[in-house]
Amino acid sequence: MQIGFVGLGRMGGNMVQRIRRDSPHEVMAFDYSADAVAEAVDHGALGAGSLEELVAKLTPPRAVWIMVPAGDPTEQTVEKLSQLMQPGDMIIDGGNSRWTDDKRRTQALQPKGIHYVDVGVSGGVWGLEVGYCMMVGGPDWRPSSMSWPRPPATRTGPPWATTDGPTSGPAAPGTT
């Protein structure tokens, strides 16, 4: 199983490290910081020098998890990936995006056949040791029916929660 990972800051970098430490899954890692990519490679990930290289090195159907700041960085990353990916591929936004942005992105990617899953991630920098809590939302999202992105995500630690429909993942903490 492969997963692409974009955004190797404190949380994203630790998530990559945990996946590689605790699973056999292959991680293709990209960040605009070459030092961050080098650190991910030191932990067993494969490095990419660009989004184009990351997508090209993944076997379809591709799953690319993004952990970049909300707003323009996420918007630009999703837009670029949408131009590089194919029908059946999936973009997983693990950042702190606004739910209305997730809803718009889901609708924009549907005609291209690209799946969009939004994941509210809690755990901070401590997640490396104790795991991450993930609240997952997306169209027809069911971990049992879409098993290919689930294993790397579950390797980041329990608990794992699913919600109904796009935008409900990041919104879940505010509704409980």
Q: Report pLDDT digits (tens) over 17-55.
A: 999 999 999 999 999 999 999 999 999 999 999 999 999
CA distances from 104 to 17, 76, 101, 166 (A): 31, 14, 5, 10
Q: Beta-carbon neighbour count of residue 26 at 10 Å?
A: 18
Domain ranges (residues) in the chain: 2-175
Q: What is the pTM of this model?
A: 0.82
- Which architecture does CATH list for 2-175? 3-Layer(aba) Sandwich (3.40)
pLDDT in tens, 55-82: 999 999 999 999 999 999 999 999 999 9
